[in-house]
Structure 1
Amino acid sequence: MSRWLTEAVPRGRIAAFRTLIYLFVAADLVIFTPWVRTRANVPGELYQPLLIGRLLPLPTPTPALVAVIFWALLLLALLAATGRAPRLLGWAVCGLYLEWMIIAMSYGKVDHDRFGLLVALAVLPTAGRARHGDATRTEAGGWALRVTQIAVVCTYFLAAFAKLRFGGLDWLTGSVLARAIIRRGTDLADLIAQVPYLLIAAQIGIVAFELLSPVVFFLPPRCRLAMVGFFYSFHTVTIATITISFAPHLAAMTSFLPLERVRPLVWARRLVGRDTPGSATDLRESEAANPPEATDPSGSNPPGAGTTARPSGDQAPALGRPAGP
């Protein structure tokens, strides 16, 4: 179990995952959850903190507190995305984003799509330093990714558990998707809703998919990537039909992907002409992948290497005898 939990991964994968997660945090503040700033205008008596907010305890949100958290988190997330000071900046972003989420979810609605992201923020500072493109393998980074993956799968499995716990088997044959389509459905959803029993089949399929999600850990690498692709396709359909994005969950799910193969900086340099095929960077990469052949211990060189071929047969003078007539 410990070997599985700490399976080593390239440091380049950690660097790419770290950059993606912290950039998403910055984007989340200004795109997905800017409405959290409006909590500062809500009367304090309506603030009902989550359990963690009661245990710490945390202060009731005020305009000044929310503004400080917003701007500090935005700045620190952008700095953390560079990979500098991974522990200091990582812990700071984790703490501030946790408080941001406690403020967001302490007024009656709790989203479960941020569990994987919060776990990723909690474990990334433990992964240590990592540079983009570094192929050196790290067990600490492997542990951080594995824990995030477990959180992602738990989000699915526990969602199915909650459906069956509170809705029972009636959830499978109820009108959950029909109500969602009425509330926030798209034109595509309206077309799907017209097919008899299709929504019932979809609800059964959703619960089955969520209950079987832990299978992803038992698949070989290529099949695992295919199943993760299915996860993403499931959310694509969800966005296209009932406009629920699960964006934080999708960001955390990139922990399954070989992100070290994505090199946007290299692509950008080639796009602007700084690194073109045959450039010094390509030559260095080529030499690293195909090192020059070592000199033959016998001292011989291949034909055409700039040496004179040694005469053989009748052309070679006999030892101990002059080469004349």
Structure 2
Amino acid sequence: MRWLFAPVPLGRIAAFRTVVYVFVALDLVVFTPWVRSHANTPAELYQPLRVGRLLHLPTPTALIVHTVFWALIVLALAAATGRAPRLLGWLVFALYFEWMIIAMSYGKVDHDRVGLLVALAVLPTIGRARHGDQTMSAAGGWALRVTQIAVVCTYFLSSWAKIRFGGADWPTSAVLAQAIVRRGTWLADQIAVVPGLLIAAQFGIMAFELLSPLIFVVPQRRRPAAVAFFYSFHVMTFATITISFAPHLVAMTSFLPLERVRPIEWTRRRLGRTPAPAVPDRPAVARGG
């Protein structure tokens, strides 16, 4: 329990909250703009995910899709400011959850959204958090920890899915070769001609995913380097088969000391302005919002 609720600075929560909510707005217009096309998709093609059936969510219509789209952009940008964190946070989570049901109920289900959805679900439980605030929060620590667990589960359970659906011979199959034929880049073409390299890469992917939980035992001072290795895996994935895991990469920032990233303060320094005084350290541990 001490590990699960290990306190973190509220400034880290504020920074993580800003990153997550800004990404939600960007996601709608940059990464998943195709979801809006479901506004005109015939209703008979809608096959809701199980959770959509359990919640009796309505079949998407033009009104529903466009309303969710515009409301989510406005509310996500408002939530990124840190104002009304509980109200705006719950609204953003509910609307983004519905956006994902709309997106994934027509035959395509992505697994890179789990960590982001968990982050959206837990951020409203924390309450107010100001950038630069060094007050330690157990509630904030719990929110980041469960997001981290979701990130790691995305890797670990992916390896289980490979064995479950691809069989024990997945590492020696032609999965990567097929992906390169369908959407490979110039770099992938250079790699593909090296004998045995794709098979070795598949064994490496499986090992990486199975061993991903070890990040929790990496010493804190070395964890950024471990997270950088995780990011490099996705950089290589995108560079070879152009598959982006952007939502997952955003959720993975939960491992990083984001409170050290102060763009506003840096901008003021460059403009020659005196930065506003930081919120003083307080020894008390915040338990809630």
Check whether TM > 0.5: yes
What does residue range 247-258 of structure 1 map to in structure 2 within 5 Å?
247-258=246-257
Displacement after TM superposition at 1:144 (Å): 0.2
Displacement after TM superposition at 1:166 (Å): 1.2
Q: Tell whether 2:97 aligns with 1:102.
A: no
**1:222 — aligned with what?**
221
Q: Distance in 2 between matches of 1:248 and 1:185?
A: 22
Deviates more, 1:94-103 or 1:216-225: 216-225
**2:72 — aligned with what?**
73
**1:319 — aligned with what?**
none
Q: Assess if the C-alpha contact under 8 Å between 1:128 and 1:141 holds in 2.
A: no
Give per-residue Cα distances to partners, 1:241-287, cap 9 Å, x unaligned.
11011000000000000000000110111222223xxxx75xx67xx
**1:306 — aligned with what?**
none
**1:5 — aligned with what?**
4
Displacement after TM superposition at 1:108 (Å): 0.4
Q: Distance in 1 between matches of 2:198 and 2:126?
A: 43
Displacement after TM superposition at 1:219 (Å): 1.5
SS at 2:110's partner residue? coil
Give per-residue Cα distances to partners, 1:185-219, cap 9 Å, x unaligned.
11011001111000000000000000000011112
Give per-residue Cα distances to partners, 1:59-118, cap 9 Å, x unaligned.
110011101000000000000000000000000000000000000000001000000000
**1:156 — aligned with what?**
155
Larger radius of gyration: 1
What does residue range 65-144 of structure 1 map to in structure 2 within 5 Å?
65-144=64-143
What does residue range 20-59 of structure 1 map to in structure 2 within 5 Å?
20-59=19-58
**RMSD across aligned positions (CA):** 1.3
Q: Distance in 1 between matches of 2:164 and 2:62?
A: 39
Displacement after TM superposition at 1:223 (Å): 2.6
Q: Distance in 2 between matches of 1:39 and 1:87?
A: 30
Q: Assess if the C-alpha contact under 8 Å between 1:123 and 1:144 holds in 2.
A: yes
SS at 1:212's partner residue? helix
Q: Distance in 1 between matches of 2:273 and 2:25?
A: 29
**1:173 — aligned with what?**
172
Q: Distance in 1 between matches of 2:265 and 2:244?
A: 30
Gaps of 5+ in 2: 282-289
**1:315 — aligned with what?**
none
Q: Assess if the C-alpha contact under 8 Å between 1:128 and 1:140 holds in 2.
A: no
SS at 2:3's partner residue? helix
**2:63 — aligned with what?**
64
- Paired letter, 2:204: G
- Paired letter, 2:11: G
**2:14 — aligned with what?**
15
Q: Assess if the C-alpha contact under 8 Å between 1:11 and 1:130 holds in 2.
A: yes
- Paired letter, 2:87: L
- Paired letter, 2:236: V
Q: Assess if the C-alpha contact under 8 Å between 1:80 and 1:90 holds in 2.
A: yes
Displacement after TM superposition at 1:228 (Å): 1.0
**1:263 — aligned with what?**
262
**1:246 — aligned with what?**
245
- Paired letter, 1:51: R
**1:192 — aligned with what?**
191
Q: Distance in 2 between matches of 1:241 and 1:3?
A: 41
Give per-residue Cα distances to partners, 1:124-162, cap 9 Å, x unaligned.
001111000001100000000000000000000000000
What's the TM-score, normalizing by structure 1? 0.84
Aligned-residue sequence identity (percent) comes to 73
- Paired letter, 2:63: A
Displacement after TM superposition at 1:224 (Å): 2.2
Gaps of 5+ in 1: 290-325
Per chain length, whose mean CA-contact separation is higher, i.e. which structure has more relative contact order (CA < 8 Å, sep 6+)?
Answer: 2
Q: Distance in 2 between matches of 1:64 and 1:158?
A: 36
- Paired letter, 2:252: M
Q: Distance in 1 between matches of 2:13 and 2:171?
A: 39
Q: Distance in 1 between matches of 2:75 and 2:271?
A: 29
Q: Distance in 2 between matches of 1:121 and 1:108?
A: 24
